[in-house]
Amino acid sequence: MVASSSLPSTKNPDTLIRYIVGTDEGLEFMQDEIKRLRRKLSKGSKNLSVPSALSSFYERLGNLVLTMIHLETVLQKTPENKKAQWRHHRLERTVQ
């Protein structure tokens, strides 16, 4: 477990997330969550929060190909999803 005394002194949640993800515990947590979410998909889950969460985890890990695949799944089923549209557009610019 990451000791709170070792966390960076900041009010920016993204800075804290980046720090935690960079720890062994954070990486293990993310990998466990990816496995759990992938099992849900393999069992036929129709809940769009599953591919949405997977896209976020994969983006944090730097796997932009899988990030885009899961974001595109969300957009195919809910093309009006503004947050997914924004993330997809931002990632398209990143990978080109």
Report d(CA 91, CA 96) in Å as an integer. Answer: 9
Express the helix, strand and coil content of the chain in percent, nearest 5 each.
75, 0, 25
Q: How is the chain split into domains, by residue range?
A: 13-95
pLDDT for 3 beyond 60? no
> Is 40 strand, coil or helix?
helix
Range 13-95 classified under CATH 3.90.550: no
| pLDDT beyond 70 at 1 | no
In terms of Cβ atoms closer than 10 Å to its own Cβ (0-12, 13-18, 19+), residue 76 is: exposed
Give the predicted TM-score (pTM) of the model.
0.81
Query: Which candidate, 22, 70, 29, 78, places its Cα nearest to that of 50?
Result: 70
What pLDDT shows up at residue 11? 72
Alpha-carbon distance 35 to 39, whole Å? 6
